[in-house]
Structures are given as C-alpha cells and as structure tokens.
Structure 1
C-alpha cells in the first residue's frame, strides 16, 4: 500500500522512494551490432570469491588416482611393446611386455576400486555404455583389455606345463590363444592410454579442462615411453630395437604436449609451472630426455639401456603426478576460475571473442 505517494501519506509514511535520495542513474544499454540493445536494470556483476574461498570444489581424488593414471598408461604401452615383440620374433620383448601389462592393469584395477570404495561400484558401471561419458567408456575399455592381457600373459607359462594330460592340452592351446589375445590387447591399448586424459579434460577443473587438446597426447606419449622403458630393462640389447623406437616416439609426444600446456593456456598454464606440479613436470622432462639419449647411445650396453629404461619409467610417473597436482592446484585457487571468466566476458562485450584462445574450452559458445 505504501508503494505509492498517496498510499504512503495515508499510512503516515514517507513517500516511496524517499525524496532526499538522489535519483538513480539511468539504466545502461548493452550495445549490440545494430547500435541498439536491451536495457540493463542492474549494474554489471563483479566476479569475486567469497572470502577468497575456491569457486570450485577441488577434486577429492587422492594419490591412488594419480597412480591409476600411471599404471593404466604402463599397461597400454607394455601391451604395444609385447605386440611388437610378437610380430617381429623377439620373445624376450614379448614376454616382458605381456607380464608387465598384466601386472600394471591389475594394479590399475586395485587403485580404481580403492577410489570407488566398493568393488561392486565398478560392476554397476557396466550396466550401461554411454559413449559421451569418458568414465563409462573407460570402464568398458578396462573390461576388454584386462582379460586379453591376462590370457596373453598366462600363455607365456605354456612351455612350463607338462606335455600329457589335461595340462598338456593347455600347453598346446595357450600359445595361439595368447597370440590372439595379445593383438586384442594391443588394439585396445591406444584407447586405454588416452581415455584418462579425456576424463580429466571433461571436468570443470580449469587447468585440466582448458588443456583438452594436449592431455590425451601427453598421456599417449607417456604410455609409449613407459612401455619402452620396460623393454629396455628386460630385453637384451639385440632385441630392444622396437623399444628404442617406441621411446623416441613417446618422448616426442610427451615433451610436445608438456610444452604446450605450460605455454598455451595463459594464466591457466601457471599451475603446471609452480609448486609440486612444476617440480614434477620439470623432472619428467629431464628424465625423458636422459632416457631417450641413453637408449640411443646404449645400443650395445645392457647397463646403460637398463638405466635409460628406469629413467623413462620415472619420467612417466613424474608426468602423470605433475598433471594431476597441476589440475588440483588450479581448482583450489579462485583466480584460475574467476580471471578467465572476466576475460571472456570482456571479449564478448568488445565483440572480439576468440573462441580458439585460452579459456575458450571445448564448447566456448555454451555460456553465451
């Protein structure tokens, strides 16, 4: 009733609004392409963080997920190494790759189930196959890869079985089954090596989300390098040729991707260059370079080849943990969420939005 002057006078109240208050500024107009635009009845919002608290909730993942990223890549790279040894007649290389692949995928399953809390949750994810969900696809990739890697590894024990009886049948059937299973695992390995990069980029964590083109490349290179490290350690130098070539290819992909995430993303590259993530990624680059150099120079030295393989495995660990810590750090500091949003808002107002620049993300038009 008091929202009109007459109603306020009848109620014994001051006019609404009070006469001693300065009139409000005229509403701003948002300029459009045609010179006009809609009226804004509220002042422009200032994106701030509530008492400096994170805008996003940091991932609750612990070290076991970072370890899962490493072991999954190691399993994929080792299966590719085993397939190379199988197709080129290098039994030591094949054996080392198969056994390592099974051990690594077993560790991956443990780390994943440990994070999920209950083994039944992994089973429940198999109730549906959702192509748009990296987690759903990753579950099915593991389900296909794991048994294939297991059969291929068990086939290596066939020569130790007796020639007669029921075990003799296994001695005859396991080698061809192992060859087929090894090729199936190798065919699934690229998806296993890269889906975790897609999974991280599919989150709202700023430095993971904006690195969506580079993360699968980094993880693929890291997987190849770690598999090469296994071959350099376990196989004689005469059979380590495919491992050396795998090391060069993996190092090239990993170093290129790491350089990109540390330089292309603007402010969102910062978490990868400072703190724990920065130290780990710098160590990873140094170990990768040392491992490749040793692999190429140590063609006749078993000791140098083994040291190079160890360096490549350590480099893969540092890279995976560095990427993990960099993303978590970007979620904990509100500036990595707020500042890119302000930059995008300013570019839209000025009509100079660059959908391919830093902070654009895989779907830059969704916020318009």
Structure 2
C-alpha cells in the first residue's frame, strides 16, 4: 500500500513538473517565480484585494501575455487576446458558480455554458437594446419622473443645506429606482430617492429581504434572473455615478459647460429623449472617461480555452487553460490613454477619428463579445440624466473625499 501511494505521488509530481516547465505554457513569462508550480501567488493577491494592481504591474514589466498560475494566464491585448477569448465560444470558468453560489437556479451571469447563456440572453436582449430604449416613451416618462421629479429636487436641497449626504448610497437609490421602473414599470418600482428609511431597510439585509420576497412570489428561475438585473443595475452603475459626481463637483467650469450644452440640446421627458443624449459630446466625454478610470466591473473575467489557441506571440496554448483580462489593466494602457491615472474628459473631445477608434478598441467597461453586459445601454442612459440633473447643482463641498 505504501509503495502504491509513493508511486501515485511520484507520478503526480512528475505531472506537475511537466506542466510547470515543459508544457506549451513554459515559454510565457511568469508573474512570479512560483506560478509554474502553484496558484498561491495570485490567490494571495486576490485575498489582499491587490490582484488587478499586481496583474497590471506584471503586464507593464513582462508584456501582454503573462502566466499567473500553472494553467492560468492573464492577457492585456486586444488582437490575439481579448477578441480571441471573449469573441468566441469560450465557456466561463467554474469560478463563477462558486463565487455566486447559494442559489439553486443559475442566472445569466453565472451560466458556465455559452450555449445556455445565449438561450437566456435572447429572452431579454430586445428590451435592453439601444434602439428599443431610444424609442421607448416609457423610458422618457420614468426618466422625467425619477430624475426631474425626484432627484433634482433632492440635490438642490442638499446643495442649499449643510447636511451630510452619503452620495454613494443616494446614487444607488436613484439607480435602483430607474432599474426597478424599467423592469417592473414606474408604478411598481421603488422610490428610494425620497424614501430614505425604506431604502436603508431594503439595502441593509439586501439579499435576505429581496430574495425572500421574490422566492415567495415568482418562479425560482425568473426571480434569480431579475434579482441579478436589479443588483447590476443599481450597484455597479451607482458606484460609477458616485465617481462621476465627485469629479464634476471639483470643476465648476466643467459644470457650466455641461449646463450650457444640456440646455441647448436636451430636455428630459421629451419624446426620444434617450436618443437626444447622443447629441451631447461633452456629456459623452465625461461618461466615457468616468467609465474608463472608474469602471465598476474591473474584472478579471476568466474563461476556459476550448481548444489549442494562439495568444499574442505564443501559439499552442493548451485546451483547458484558464485565461482572463480586466478593464483595469486594459484602460491603463498609456500608449492609448496618455496619463491613464488622470480623469481627463478632454481626451475624448480632442481625439482624432483614428485615436478615438483606437480608444474604443481598448474600452472594456462592459466587456465584449456575446457575453458582454446586456444592460450596457440602459446603464449609459441611466447615468446621463443623473449627470444632467447634477450640472450646476454640485460644488466641491457637496461631494467630499
């Protein structure tokens, strides 16, 4: 028995050595000297919440394809990189099911299979499409009611008083109102902007309270899907809106320019008011730069190679290799985004057609491919009126670090 155990252990050891030093991954530079043999380095970075910084540093030093584990790679390039991984039928890594475990029924974001995801996505794609939102009179109505009828009055009262406001929580409340109104209708949506106590009671035990309500009233699959949409709609978007409000609060001249642009070209509540937002280049620049620097979905988002593939200059990446990219690193490419750590909306206004095209190639706030964020257009059109409402209202004293 002892001999058998030793033989098995020896075979396992030889296999690890082969994967570490003699596989098709061995020519790829290592983020740390231990990664060919162990995942401890990247796991430690994740535990310390420093994964994205560590990966970015590795890419800056070693290049666009870096090994971060025995069978795991980090990628920071578009061609032979992001387009290969996220533009084809790569399944998600099992990490998704583990990270978002606790629910019997899978929902779109946690589905491992690309085929299952595509089938589910078809059910919702139309109502989240750009053309549908632009032509929707319901969106115009809810934007007018929530932004002009609720949020703007609240923001004016904040600016006129000395009260301390948790902008992150109020941003999430606003986005929850918009998201719930879009999903369930304005009449059945939340009003957390005005009902602060109700919002606090809802968000504090969020998963327990919200989940319990839905499990009692809707089928399990539908309830989990809508829960996912609600979480994504208010949480990630609310974080980005908070950064946006902070940045424009520091720049009174930018607020004045935004106000002039908005008053000249856009009126909330008008027919096709979502479509009119695209005629506001300064607002677009502010949104794009905020999403670039303060993306709430930093990643990384792991995928599994379905067959032998090429990444960058490395060919024969074996089937089963876990590969991922992150918007955090992609958006820090100083060749595409000079001074990447600075919030500079002007980069989008001053860019030539060629430069803007290149920036859009590297822009990854919502992912890409068939599994990119289904609510990306709703998120953009939700952020825009909040920015409009805040123009001329905020000051540096309104949003503090």
TM range (shorter): under 0.3
TM-score by length of 2: 0.24
User: When you count strand as a share of all residues, which structure comes out higher?
Assistant: 2
- Greater fraction of residues in helix: 1
